[in-house]
Structure 1
Amino acid sequence: MTRVLIVGAGPAGIRAAEVLAGAGLCPTVVDEGARAGGQIYRRPPLGFGRTPEKLYGSEAGKARALHGRFDWLVAQGKVWHLPETSVLALRDGVAHVLGETRRQIPYDRLILATGATDRLAPVPGWQNAGVYSLGAAQIALKAQGVALGRQIVLAGTGPLLTLLAMQLRAAGAGLVAVLDTAPMRDQLRGGLAMAAARPVVALRGVSMRARLGNLYHAGVTLERIEADPDHGVQALHWRNARGQSHRTACDMAALGWHLRAETHLADLAGAEFDWCPSARQWLVRCDDMGRAGKDLYLAGDGQRLLGADGAELAGRLAAIALLRDLGRPAPAAYGLLRRRARMQRFANAMARAFPWPAEAVAALPDDTVICRCEGVTAGTLRATLPASGPEANRAKALSRVGMGRCQGRYCQLAGAEIIAADQGLAVPRAGRLRAQPPARPAPIGAWLSTPPEREAE
């Protein structure tokens, strides 16, 4: 039997597994979470008191259906699930994974449903204790019922900014400000196209925004995060759309500018990349069905940033493509492709409504830390460019930007903006950082012995 490995048990991975199981295959699903669901439908530990309605809001029904379907597939032996397991490397049809132990999983076909991570823009002072990403704050709230501060400021742009604000308020957290860097004119222009593509979703977003009232401010400029060495974050300094200065006291700040596709494993698997001007980041080159190379398929936000509904569609399409490539009967894809195209139009409009703050990042002061892992400043990166030239990997070698635990996941995009601006080039000319194994930090002891491979079925 064909051995299929799916990496990721979010909406895309679950729907891919469902289609393959329905065709008689038994895929292996590897996921870093303790329970399937992914980030948007992240499940709390067993016995957690908050209801799905509190955790997922209007998406509670979708979350229940997705969780229930995957649990049933695993219970029936139609899917082999490895939770709390990370894929460290991919080579010659073998995935090197780390859970309780390190093991090797051979595969014939690979579906990567690795999702996305927060896209972060450095702000002076963001390296201090008490500064988190929007995604981290949401994980703490969903998985542990914890608000990470008593006086909370959310800053950045994109749907997650508003969604997390509403979730924190519903939980009774002390939210004091929501600072959106997207100008209102951009939001209005992009919002019309968003409403044309997905009116219900757009209306839901407008409704949530309205309920934030005076907490919400559009078109702001983030100046710096004030912090005390002993007590962490103290305040966030910002200017409103009219240029007026403000100091908002807080003990926690969460930042995020929409999402960044998680493509590390796709790079290790040999995928090609293209610069996406609308998303302003490098995305994997693949067809509409998710084919990204020989025996390689992508699904979900790691392929295109289309949200949870789009991820479910992409998971089904990738599985259908795989079945067709095997010469097996497969469900029709036409209707799924039409829905996916509509979601792509929505995503393009959203990128226009909530733009990445490229100019602000390119003009960061020299003393701003851009690589939190290594403590590298914008000035250090700029100082390396006469020797490294405008190529991201050479600049990384000399400055150490991107050499930390995250391997450039959080600093690569900002670093490229700084390199391009300093050298007078378009951002794509700076290139992208090449992925290196292991894809996740791993203890040295995990590599001291060779684990047994999973036996072929």
Structure 2
Amino acid sequence: MRLDRPMVIIGAGPAGISAAKTLAAAGERPVVIDENAYPGGQIFRRPPAALARNETQLYGFDASRARRLKSTFEAIAPSIEYRAETLVWSVEDRRLHLSTAGIVKCMPFSRILLAAGAMDRVIPINGWTAPGVFSLGAAQIALKAQATFIGKRVVFIGTGPLLYLVAYQYAKAGADVAAVLDSSEPFSKITPLPALLADISNFSRGLFYVSQLLLRGVKIQTAIAPIEIVAGDRGVTSIRYEQSGQQGQSDCDAVAIGYGLRSETQLADLLGLSFQFDRRQRQWLPVTDGAGRTSVPHVYIAGDGASVRGSEVAEWEGELAALSLLEDMGRGSQKRASVLRRRIDSLSPFRRALDDHVFPFPHHFAEAIRDETIVCRCEGITAGQIRETVATTGEADINRIKAFSRLGMGRCQGRVCGAAACELIAATARTDISATGRLRGQAPLKPIPLSILAGDRR
């Protein structure tokens, strides 16, 4: 059924592709919008044609899934409307405001399914704004999309599965990986073994990445706390850290940093969704019914943009959310939805074990951020300025701190600094992290040409 106002899917990663396939199979023609040049999302990011490599080289264990999703998308291409390299920068009254190659368009929609994914979660340290410092995701993009390394000798620091995956990908590609510095405790990784075995495939992959790094002579250190990234006139020269009361240093010319992922929720905010605080992920997330429905009847959500659970679960959630959408139209399959729910639930113990025990987010690092360390890169706001604002105003809500200090008012609107800023505010005010609230989303969600705001519709 073709509606005057089309169904729209935001994101062409595993969740978005799965949702599009489900809707197309039901006779719908959804519009799939994605910021990237090719479908696949971050996990299956594809390089330009001139740098083409096969799936095994690019995706390793996930090569077969990459091929399947690519084939799926090619098969449904005639049944969908695909808008690549298109930014959704605002939404109001069931109308999306889009920008493609600097040209603005307005698209009405009937129903919308968000599959926006996630981004890196970082904790600022001295030197993190120096040339040669990248997030883990950015380091992975450089390798996948441009077939290049971020430096000649790279240190990977943070925690989470992505830390070891990207370090392994670099080492396998021939990079000089100086060290992997993990903030989590080594013995915490053993405690939840029964839960980890609930997903033996991903558990085995993790062991493989670690073993391959060790076989290549890469130094892996756990229970570390970063001190500073040292940089000279030409960029990064080393990173200093502490481990069990002893200070260490690793020479390098590039650093990739990341402490897990956080859901992309800015568009969900503009759409008026209700949020609730997730203590495990330490983030405000959209309220859902567990099948992709949100608090707004015509808005659905799936994948890491709803809750970070990995690409496999994201794929199932994309299909489940699409089935919920169809069911709300008087169609859909309850039997298939039940199968998907069971699959998703079966991996929940594994995800909880990762978040709670194996790779817990080191929120206590916020207290150790030096006053002179820049937290908000866009506006140049330091940790000391944030602490002073909290102390002088008595405020602990991040939106109030933003109003007083310009924190989060820059180009990224707090997408990069917001999570760390909340941790810093909570630590300074001696309050629970949930009390800091969440940065309110505002249009434009991402940087756009001024001509768009001026109404240039070339």
Q: TM-score range by the shorter chain?
A: over 0.9
Match of 2:435 among 426, 429, 436: 429
Residue 173 of structure 1: aligned partner: 175
Matches within 5 A, 1:400-419: 400-419=406-425
Moved more, 282-291 or 213-222: 213-222
The 3 A distance-change label for structure 1 pair 329 and 272 is closer
Scaled by the length of structure 1, the TM-score of the pair is 0.95
Name the structure 2 match of 1:255.
257
Aligned to 1:155: 157
* AA at the equivalent of 2:435: R
- Give the CA deviation at 1:329: 3.7
Inter-partner Cα distance in structure 1 for 2:105 and 2:399: 31
Aligned match of 1:443: 449
Structure 1 distance, partners of 2:46, 2:332, is 34
SS at match of 1:340: helix
- Distance in 2 (CA, whole Å) between partners of 1:311 and 1:158 is 18
Q: Is the 8 A contact 1:131 1:233 kept in 2?
A: yes
Contact map agreement 2:152 2:253 (CA 8 A) in 1: yes
Aligned to 1:280: 282
1:369 equivalent in structure 2: 374
Using the TM superposition, give the Cα deviation of residue 186 of structure 1 relative to its aligned residue in structure 2, in angstroms: 2.0
Give 1:72's aligned residue.
75
* AA matched with 2:152: R
Q: Give the SS at the match of 1:135.
A: helix
The CA deviation string for residues 281-325 of structure 1, in whole angstroms up to 9 with x for no partner, is 111111111111220000110001111101100100110000000
How many Å separate the matches in 2 of 1:245 and 1:63? Answer: 42
Determine which of 349, 352, 357 is the counterpart of 1:348.
Answer: 352
Task: Name the residue aligned to 2:85.
Answer: 84
Task: Name the amino acid aligned to 1:206.
Answer: L
Indicate the residue corresponding to 1:393 in structure 2.
399
- Return the letter of the residue paired with 2:272: G
Residues 388 and 398, structure 1, Cα contact 8 Å, conserved in 2 = no
Partner of 1:317: 320
Aligned length: 447
Q: Deviations over 1:207-257 (max 9, x none)?
A: 2112211521111111110011x21111000122x3221111110001001
The residue number in structure 2 matching 1:384 is 389
**Deviation of 1:450 (Å):** 6.2
**Aligned position for 1:14:** 17
Partner amino acid, structure 1, of 2:124: P
Q: 1:192, CA displacement in angstroms?
A: 4.1
Partner SS state of residue 190, structure 2: helix
Post-superposition shift, 1:373? 1.6
| Residue 328 of structure 1: how far off its partner (Å) | 2.0
User: What SS does the aligned partner of 1:164 have?
Assistant: helix
Residue matched to 1:455: none
- Paired with 1:257 and 1:139, the residues of 2 have a C-alpha distance of 17
Q: Secondary structure in 2 aligned to 1:189?
A: coil
Letter in 2 for 1:409: R
- Please, what is the CA RMSD of the aligned residues? 1.3
Deviates more, 1:181-190 or 1:99-108: 181-190
Rounded to whole Å, the distance in 2 between the matches of 1:43 and 1:70 is: 14
- Alpha-carbon contact 2:276-2:286 (below 8 Å) kept: yes
CA distance in 2, matches of 1:21, 1:447: 34
2:324–2:332 Cα contact (<8 Å) kept: no
Question: Deviation digits for residues 400-447 of structure 1, max 9, x if unmatched?
Answer: 211111111121111111111111111101111101111111001123
Gaps of 5+ in 2: none
Q: What is the SS of the residue equivalent to 2:164? A: helix
Q: 1:184 aligns with which of 186, 190, 215?
A: 186
